[in-house]
Structure 1
Amino acid sequence: MRIVDVCAFYSPDGGGVKTYIDRKLAAGPVAGHEIIVIAPGETTRVEERGPNARIVYLEQPRFPLDRKYHYFRDEVALHATLDELQPDIVEASSPWRSARLVGEWKGLAPRVLIMHADPLSAYAYRWFGKVASRGMIDRQFGWFWRHLLRLDKQFAATVTAGQSLSDRLIEGGMTDVVTNPMGVADAVFSPELRDAGLRARLLDRCALPETATLLIAAGRHAPEKRWPMVIEAVTAAGANAPVGLVLVGDGRERAKVVRAAADNPHIHLASSINDRLELARLFASCDALIHGCEAETFCMVASEARASGLPLIAPDGGGAADQARESNGWTYASGDPASAAAAIAAFLASDRQVIRTRSVNNSNHVRTMDSHFSDLFSYYEGLVGPIRRAA
């Protein structure tokens, strides 16, 4: 198949979407498919990624809210590029303007919407959740639901990476929703990378002895990640037991994170880690992962922690909650530091050897990205087959 991904938020300096797309560019040709990504960029150019894999950049304006991205404004150029490529499947990797443009393209190829993000959870529910019910918020954001329902009619399917998001989309009236969880990179994250010396050094940076508990958190310093709330919860739990936190990441909210951690010597803020093996060693050498964001569609960090043999402490919504429940972890009321502190306390009071053994055993069953792409491509074959037979 020739799979064309219209990816509005692909950037050489991007984050999770870039990581996912880069993996697909490698996985597709191995499975016998051609992968072409159409992305908005500074200039029109083609970037070859090896046999049967390339990125076609179309010159488009910069995105005003984040200057490292561009956005699709030229509908004619995008449609002309799709006409020229003649794809078997067209993906839209964002539910915004680019999805509308793909939906309005006159070509015959099936269209699939990939929900890499959950805008309502990341913004609307977080902003207004303390003063209004989710149903009331949905009604106020009815324009977004109407937009999704229009896409539901134009696209063959909407693919999500987590059951929580799929359930909510179906509750909102969408009919063709498919759950295909993502996964970890093979042979990178493992409990066997646990390093007692590294753990001791990290606890020392948290001003704690080796007998203390070491939690880890990782992700962008962004409002939806709720790191100040996580820090508050760890601080509260630490009043009754020695517990440290290593928080890995960076971003535009770093100043707020630094202020939140300033009064707790048991919080160590570490810069982002791009080396996957280094991150894998770090995960394996801690005692549990705590996450703060209820807006994750899948939560790659949680999956990588599980593959490293760690139990999870996560909010009760979104992809992090899906993974915590699947691995018998702990959940707390999203956005509630007191509830998060109680979940940490419950973990601290558990039989740690039993939990460690269970988590290590479960690490062998964590889904991989190879499985994700295998299932995705098989699903696409099912969509393309009837059209080929009709042709």
Structure 2
Amino acid sequence: MRIVDVCAFYSPQGGGVRTYVERKWAAMTALGHEMIVLAPGERDEVVERAPGAILATIAAPKLVLDRRYRYFSDEAALHRALDRWQPDFVEASSPWSSASMVNRWQGAAPRSLVMHADPLASYAYRWFGRVAKRDTIDRGFSWFWRHLRQLDQGTNLVVSASAGLSRRLSAGGLAKIATIPMGVEPGVFSPLRRDSALRAELLAGCGLDERAMLLVGAGRLASEKRWPMVIRAVAEASQDRPIGLVIAGGGREETRVRRATRGLPNVRLLGRLEGRGEFARLLASGDALVHGCESETFCMAAAEARASGLPLIVPDAGGAYDQLLPGAGRAYRAGDMRSLAWAIRRFADHGFVRQHAVATEGARVRTMDEHFAELSRRYEALAGVAERPFLQAA
């Protein structure tokens, strides 16, 4: 089967989307499918990453807010590319304008909308959640719900990564939802990667000894991740407890996040870690992952931390909460700094070493390959095509 993923937010410099796409190429071709990722790029280009794994880019302008990314601006060019590739199945990986473009394409192939993003939770609920209830916010953003319902009507399947998001989509009037959770890269994350020397080194960098608790943050330095809130909560909780925090990641909000660390020697920004093995070793060497974002559709960072045997301190909403293992971490009221500080204290006071042992026992999580196998079965059933010779990239 030939699958085309119209992937609006793929970038060679990207984080979670790039990781997902690169594993998709490997997993889907191993299942016998040809996997073409159609993305906005600097120029029109076709690159064969491996037999059956193709990156095709369409020349597109850069996003104003994040210059690492581009966006589809030429609907006719997108439709010509779909006509060229003659897909058996088409995915739209963003609920924005590119999904509408895919729905307006006149080809016969069935198609899906994959909800990799939750714009209402990322923006509207975060901006207005302190002054209005979600029902009120949803009414104020009724135009976006109408847009999602139109996408639902024009597609064969809406893929959601979490039960919570599926419930919200269903309540908003979407009818074709399938909950297909994502997963972590197989063979990368494990409690066996724990490195006591690295843990001691990171704590020393925070001005603490090995008896202190080491919290790890991971993800883009973006406003929806709420890093300043996380940092303030750690600062409050560490007033009478030895707690260090290291954050791995980069992004457009780095200056603002760095400003929040001023005067806090127990908080360090590590920047973006290039090697996946290095990142996996960092996760396994911490005492807990602390996460601030309640708008995750799946939360790759929390799943990778859980696979590394790490307890979780996460908001009580969104995909991160789905990864919380009983007895191995704490939930706090989403968006509430004082609730997070309380959760950190409670975690520290209730034996973080014991909770780490519980997390290590529960470290087995779903892999990306299992996710793609389930996605493949759904697509094959809708397309009615399982095998087809690979096209040549050139």
- Give yes or no for TM over 0.5: yes
TM band (smaller chain): over 0.9
Q: How do 1:1-391 and structure 2 match up within 5 A?
A: 1-324=1-324, 329-363=329-363, 365-385=364-384
Q: Give the Cα–Cα distance (whole angstroms) in 2 for the partners of residues 258 and 64 of structure 1.
A: 22
Q: Deviation string for 1:347-389 (max 9, x for gaps)?
A: 11213343222111111x211111111111111112122999x
Q: Deviation string for 1:75-97 (max 9, x for gaps)?
A: 22222221222211100011111
Counterpart code for 2:367: T
Counterpart code for 1:330: R
TM-score by length of 1: 0.95
SS state at 1:14 partner: coil
Identify if the C-alpha distance between structure 1 residues 317 and 184 changes in structure 2 by more than 3 Å, giving closer, same or farther: same
Residue 218 (structure 1) shift: 1.0
Structure 1: 5+ residue stretches without partners: none
**Same amino acid, percent of matched pairs:** 55
Structure with bigger RCO (C-alpha 8 Å, 6+ apart): 2
TM-score by length of 2: 0.94
Q: Give the Cα–Cα distance (whole angstroms) in 1 for the partners of residues 328 and 200 of structure 2.
A: 27
Q: Deviation string for 1:297-329 (max 9, x for gaps)?
A: 111111111111111000111111111257753
Identify if the C-alpha distance between structure 1 residues 326 and 374 changes in structure 2 by more than 3 Å, giving closer, same or farther: farther
For the 8 Å contact 2:220–2:249, the answer to whether it is kept is yes
Q: Give the Cα–Cα distance (whole angstroms) in 1 for the partners of residues 75 and 194 of structure 2.
A: 51
Q: Deviation string for 1:4-40 (max 9, x for gaps)?
A: 1111122222222122112111211111000011112
Q: Deviation string for 1:183-209 (max 9, x for gaps)?
A: 111111111111111111111111111
Q: Give the Cα–Cα distance (whole angstroms) in 2 for the partners of residues 244 and 337 of structure 1.
A: 17
SS state at 2:90 partner: strand
For the 8 Å contact 1:327–1:362, the answer to whether it is kept is no
Counterpart code for 2:216: I
Question: Runs of 4 or more off by more than 4 Å in structure 1?
Answer: 325-328
For the 8 Å contact 1:7–1:92, the answer to whether it is kept is yes
C-alpha RMSD over aligned residues:
1.7
Q: Give the Cα–Cα distance (whole angstroms) in 2 for the partners of residues 32 and 327 of structure 1.
A: 41
Q: Give the Cα–Cα distance (whole angstroms) in 1 for the partners of residues 260 and 67 of structure 2.
A: 28
**Which has the larger share of helix?**
1
> Relative to structure 2, which stretch is displaced further, 107-116 or 252-261?
252-261
> Relative to structure 2, which stretch is displaced further, 219-228 or 159-168?
159-168
Counterpart code for 2:196: A
Identify if the C-alpha distance between structure 1 residues 301 and 155 changes in structure 2 by more than 3 Å, giving closer, same or farther: same
SS state at 2:13 partner: coil
Structure 2: 5+ residue stretches without partners: 388-394
Q: Give the Cα–Cα distance (whole angstroms) in 2 for the partners of residues 259 and 79 of structure 1.
A: 45
Q: Give the Cα–Cα distance (whole angstroms) in 2 for the partners of residues 300 and 17 of structure 1.
A: 10
Identify if the C-alpha distance between structure 1 residues 256 and 387 changes in structure 2 by more than 3 Å, giving closer, same or farther: closer
Q: Give the Cα–Cα distance (whole angstroms) in 2 for the partners of residues 207 and 289 of structure 1.
A: 19
Q: Give the Cα–Cα distance (whole angstroms) in 2 for the partners of residues 184 and 387 of structure 1.
A: 25
For the 8 Å contact 1:42–1:59, the answer to whether it is kept is yes
Q: Give the Cα–Cα distance (whole angstroms) in 1 for the partners of residues 242 and 329 of structure 2.
A: 20
